Amino acid sequence: MNNLEIVKAGLNKRYAKERRFKFYGIFSISLSLLFLFFLLFDIGAKSIPAFTQTYINLDIEFDKKSMKLQDQDSYSEETLFSASYSKLGRNALYKLFPEVTERKQKKALRQMLSSGARYDLRDAVLENNDYVGTTQNLWVLAGDDIDAFVKGLIDRNIPEADRRVKDYQVKWVDILEAQNKIERRFNINFFTSGDSREPEQAGILGALKGSFYTMLVTLLLSFPIAVSAAIYLEEFAPKNNWWIDIIEININNLAAVPSIVFGILGLAVYINVFGVPRSAPLVGGLVLTLMTLPTIIISTRAALKSVPPSIREAALSIGASKMQVITHHVLPLAMPGILTGSIIGMAQALGETAPLLMIGMVAFVADIPQSILDPATVLPVQVFIWSDSPERGFIALTSAAIVTLLVFLFFMNLIAIVLRKKFETRW
Amino acid sequence: MENHDHISNQFDNDLESIRNHVLSMGGLVETNVKNAITSLLERDQALAEEVAKADFKVNQMEVEIDEECTQIIARRQPAAGDLRLVLTAIKVITDLERIGDEAEKIGRYAQTLASKKAKTGMHLELQTLGEKVSSMLNKTLDAFARMDASQAMEVVGLDIRIDEEFDRISRLLVSHMMEEPKNIKSMLRVSWCARSLERIGDHAQNICEYVIYSVHGEDVRHADIDKVKKEYLSKQE
Amino acid sequence: MEISDNMDLDQEISKTVGSPLLESKVRIACRDVNVFYNKNVQAIFNVNLDIGKNQILAMIGPSGCGKSTLLRCFNRMNDTIEDCVVDGLIELDGENIHSKKIDPVVLRANVGMVFQKPNPFPKSIYDNVAYGPRLHGLTQNNSELDDIVEESLTKAGLWKETKDRLNKPGTGLSGGQQQRLCIARAIAVKPEVILMDEPTSALDPIATATIEELMSELKSAYTIVIVTHSMQQAARISDRTAYFHLGRLVEVDETGHIFTNPNHSLTENYITGRFG
């Protein structure tokens, strides 16, 4: 056999190997795509109910007696605000179903409405003062069990003892539906309010803003610190100096430290020593900064290293100082890489839960944070809290929160890509 | 010959300078040959002396051009047409120098022939040969100046006429020597002059062959010139 | 060659042959220049060399002979390399370039450099050329800057090709054009000396010829020192040629002399391709 024949003989084997390798690649990619789609589909499908809410149409009689108001022609805002609205909704229901007299059934009838309905009615009155003393046809938020039942999450065919909605409640819902007095509407509440113990009143805005403030603090702190540190280490630090070597090793190790350790550090140092307010986005941002720093430093150094030395030489040879070389040439050229690293770090920080648990961002916060010093929670922690809650409605909310988190992440990446493209085309 | 200038101006200048120097050397040699013939025919002793002395200038130019060519080969590494031009120049100046030497010889014989008041009038027989040679030399230099291969081919053919004329003169001189043995010395001198003129023709032919080589890149030195001519013409058509 | 040969080599090259020193019109003067890397690795040994005004000096020699290292001494680019120590005297127009009075930034404005690989900034053609003048504040207003850009590009033989696309990126030009852009960038700060480190080794022959022609034109206004791996290039463009061997300056002479009749056998071996 001459060489050519030997080569030809082995050829099929080689190609088979190549084909096999290709197949493995395609197989594993398909598999991961399948899992990804399954995950997204599952979360997406589960989150859909969270985006609608059930409302019941009632003739609300704003009588002064039930509202515990004195007989007057007009009332000040404070008076209206502190008036009692809790009886209005149930009175309307009693009127609608006068045959219900038993105490237990009356209670069930009351629970048809959300406990938060009174606040909606209060807001309606505050907006229209002249409602007082009149009867108005209004849509009122339904309770979470009714909401779940209307959405089909509770099956009417299972025995009454096993379901949370009683038979007479089912009957009432059917009657209301027959009269077109029950309706599903888009859940604006989810995007405009903070957390709540009642799933039908719980919203994501608090966590969203908390995440936003936390990310803002993280970005504003970690980006400049990390980039400056990377520039110093890469461009100015003396080579073969053991101090610098130790710093480098530590930075690399820092990237591998479990995130909860940063949380403990934050608790011990920021909160206990420096007295930064607990649960605030400020302290969350500070802790996440610690976590993000090594990631950004390492990627920035890689980006700086990848700038061709010929560009530095060119600038130096014209008479640019070292700082000018860096600011005029090296940094702009490294910017896309730096941004990529930063966004990876930020995305990591955005999805981080563990360290934030340590610094109290897991607390129940119903108010929407207005600054970085207000108590807040963040999206992943919100997911964690909701997934831990027993009420039926929180299942959908958990998924909806995950979807929100993914959308937030998507926009963050989008901004990064746009920025990177902008820097790349400039050059 | 050059359709385009080189990217390097200096290279153009250097090549042009070599050509110009070869041409002015050729002009000098041509003048020397003409003066030699004139001094011979007209028994002009002063002119003959001048011719004999003028050769050192030709030799000096040969050295200069040689050096120039060495420099251009060392520094520019000429290729193709440029290389042929430089090689041609080196060879042309060798032949020109030899022509110069022949002219010097003729000048020296002319000096003796003029001073001895040789009784023979045989030197007048050299007039035709002299005219033919100097016309051939003139055409040769013209062909080189214009790098005109077809003219060079024609000039190559002229050498046969010169050889015929040289044979005629040789036979004539031999018969005269037998008739007048006492003039043999002068006759011999005339014969040597004729020989020198014939040599000049040969060198001129060489130069023409170099020109053809320079233009077409074909070595025609030992080929049949008529065949080459035919080939060349057919190629042109 | 091995280290053990160095003793013989030192004897063989005890003194630079040819004419390393000039009598007049000296722009750069090197006296007893030694260059060390990492304290114990010596790259340049006792170089004495004058570079004349309006001259092109070509530095040739086998790889690792120190010619690039010496070139980078002239604008103190070696300062940027850690552990590189330059010993001896290097003068530019009679002034020691290592003296405290001279800042490397000023020196580099005076001694431009063109590199092996064309390295235009990833900016527009205009900004590339204008970078130096802007950096040093050489112009008062935009029209002056425009003039400098046009002048530099014209000198570099690039104006005709680029005047309609000054805002296009410099990296979009061809290799030869990029290198001419780099030359334009270097001469925009009006240096006295241009150092070229194998400026055409990445270019095709035509672009090379264009750059070479450009160099011989620039010669009238600048002193040019060129390091080249191509002996032919050195022969074509330089006025004087310096041959380096293992960090020693073996021979310096008129280029025509070096390439026809070198005095040192090492030089002859190198330029005739018998080295090794």
A interface mutation test: which of C79, C119, C198 has the most A CBs within 10 A?
A: C119
Q: Is the pLDDT of residue C259 over 80?
A: yes
Torsion of CA C120, C121, C123, C126, to 10 degrees: -60
Chain A contact present for C172, CB below 8 A: no
Chain C contact present for B13, CB below 8 A: no
Torsion of CA C3, C4, C6, C7, to 10 degrees: 150
| Nearest CA distance, C276 vs chain A (angstrom) | 31
pLDDT tens for chain B, 237 residues: list them. Answer: 444 678 888 888 999 999 999 999 999 999 999 999 998 888 888 898 888 888 899 999 999 999 999 999 988 888 888 999 999 999 999 999 999 999 999 999 888 887 766 556 777 788 889 999 999 999 999 999 999 988 998 898 888 889 999 999 999 989 988 888 888 888 888 899 999 999 999 999 999 999 999 888 878 777 776 777 777 767 665
Whether domain B2-236 has CATH 1.20.58.220: yes
Of C119, C121, C135, nearest to A319 by CB-CB distance is C135
Q: Do B75 and C256 touch (CB under 8 A)?
A: yes
Pick the CATH number of A205-423 from 3.40.50.300, 1.10.3720.10, 3.40.630.30, 3.30.70.890: 1.10.3720.10
Encoding tokens for residue A1? 């056999």
- Name the burial class of residue A7, with classes exposed (0-12), middle (13-18) and buried (19+) by CB atoms within 10 angstroms of its CB: exposed
Instruction: Round to whole Å and give the CA distance between C97 and C70.
Output: 14
Q: Do C122 and A308 touch (CB under 8 A)?
A: no
Q: Residue C1 — pLDDT band, cuts 50, 70, 90?
A: very low
Q: Work out the number of other CB atoms within 10 angstroms of the CB of residue A173.
A: 21
Mark out the alpha helices in C79-138 (DSSP H runs): 104-110, 125-136
Q: Do A317 and C169 touch (CB under 8 A)?
A: no
**What residues have CB less than 8 Å from B89, skipping those under 6 apart?**
B18, B19, B22, B65, B69
Instruction: Round to whole Å and give the CA distance between C2 and A57.
Output: 100
Q: Work out the number of other CB atoms within 10 angstroms of the CB of residue B101.
A: 19
Q: Residue A36 — pLDDT band, cuts 50, 70, 90?
A: very high
- Residues A17-36 have a mean pLDDT of 96
Closest CA to A314 of C178, B210, B206, B162: C178
DSSP for C190-240 reads --SEEEEESTTTTS-HHHHHHHHHHHHHHTTTSEEEEE-S-HHHHHHH-SE
Q: Do C209 and B9 touch (CB under 8 A)?
A: no
Q: Is the pLDDT of residue C97 over 60?
A: yes
The residue among A219 and A106 whose pLDDT is bigger is A219
Looking at residue C81, its amino acid is I
Q: Do B74 and C232 touch (CB under 8 A)?
A: no
Chain A residue numbers touching C131 (CB-CB < 8 A): 315, 318, 328
Torsion of CA A263, A265, A266, A268, to 10 degrees: 120
Domains of chain A by residue range: 55-185, 205-423
Instruction: Round to whole Å and give the CA distance between B137 and A185.
Output: 114
Encoding tokens for residue A183? 């309706």
| Nearest CA distance, C105 vs chain A (angstrom) | 4
Distance of CA A44 to the CA centre of its chain: 14
Q: How many CA atoms lie within 13 Å of C158's alpha carbon, on the beta-carbon side?
A: 31
Q: Do C122 and A317 touch (CB under 8 A)?
A: no
Q: Is the pLDDT of residue C3 over 60?
A: no
Q: Do C185 and A238 touch (CB under 8 A)?
A: no
Of A257-271, B177-191, C120-134, least confident by mean pLDDT is B177-191
Quote the pLDDT of residue B116.
65
Domains of chain B by residue range: 2-236
For residue A58, what are the β-bridge partners?
A138
The DSSP letter of residue C124 is B
A interface mutation test: which of C72, C79, C108 has the most A CBs within 10 A?
A: C108
DSSP for A382-402 reads HHHHHHT--STHHHHHHHHHH
Distance of CA A303 to the CA centre of its chain: 31
Looking at residue A339, its amino acid is L
Quote the pLDDT of residue B181.
85
The set of chains that have 3 or more CB pairs under 8 A with A is C
Quote the pLDDT of residue C9.
65
Chain C residue numbers touching B74 (CB-CB < 8 A): 235, 256, 259-260
Quote the pLDDT of residue A396.
87
Q: Give helix C205-218 / helix B9-42 axis angle, nearest 10°.
A: 80
Instruction: Round to whole Å and give the CA distance between A290 and A295.
Output: 10
Of all residues in chain C, the one with the smallest CA distance to A325 is: C135
Length of chain C in terms of residues written:
276
Quote the pLDDT of residue A294.
92
The DSSP bridge pattern shows strands C248-254 and C240-245 to be antiparallel
Q: How large a percentage of chain A has pLDDT more than 90?
A: 30
Q: Do chains A and B touch (3 or more CB pairs under 8 A)?
A: no
Average pLDDT, chain A: 87
The CA-to-CA distance between both ends of chain B, in Å, stands at 19
Looking at residue A96, its amino acid is L
- Name the burial class of residue A22, with classes exposed (0-12), middle (13-18) and buried (19+) by CB atoms within 10 angstroms of its CB: exposed
- A293-326: pLDDT as tens digits: 999 999 999 999 998 888 888 999 998 888 999 9
- How far CA C222 is from CA of C22, C114, C191, C213, in Å, comes to 17, 14, 8, 14
Q: Do C77 and A313 touch (CB under 8 A)?
A: yes
Chain C residue numbers touching A333 (CB-CB < 8 A): 122
The residue among C20 and A25 whose pLDDT is bigger is A25
Torsion of CA A132, A135, A139, A144, to 10 degrees: 80
Looking at residue B161, its amino acid is R
Instruction: Round to whole Å and give the CA distance between B84 and B215.
Output: 8
Closest CA to C37 of C94, C4, C1, C83: C83
Q: Work out the number of other CB atoms within 10 angstroms of the CB of residue A242.
A: 7
Closest CA to B86 of B22, B142, B6: B22
The residue among A69 and A268 whose pLDDT is bigger is A268
Average pLDDT, chain C: 87
The DSSP letter of residue C163 is G
Chain C contact present for B76, CB below 8 A: yes
C interface mutation test: which of A307, A317, A322 has the most C CBs within 10 A?
A: A317
Instruction: Round to whole Å and give the CA distance between C259 and B76.
Output: 11
Quick check: A270 and A263 in contact, CB under 8 A? Answer: no
Quote the pLDDT of residue A35.
96
**What residues have CB less than 8 Å from A322, skipping those under 6 apart?**
A235, A236, A316
Looking at residue C182, its amino acid is C
Encoding tokens for residue A258? 């479990």
Name the CA radius of gyration of chain B, rounded. Answer: 20
Of A22-36, A234-248, B81-95, least confident by mean pLDDT is A234-248
Of A310, A314, A319, nearest to C105 by CB-CB distance is A319
The DSSP letter of residue A139 is E
Of A238, A239, A324, nearest to C135 by CB-CB distance is A324
Q: Is the pLDDT of residue A232 over 90?
A: yes
Q: How large a percentage of chain A has pLDDT more than 70?
A: 99
Phi-psi region of C66 (alpha: psi -120 to 50; beta: other; left: phi over 0): left
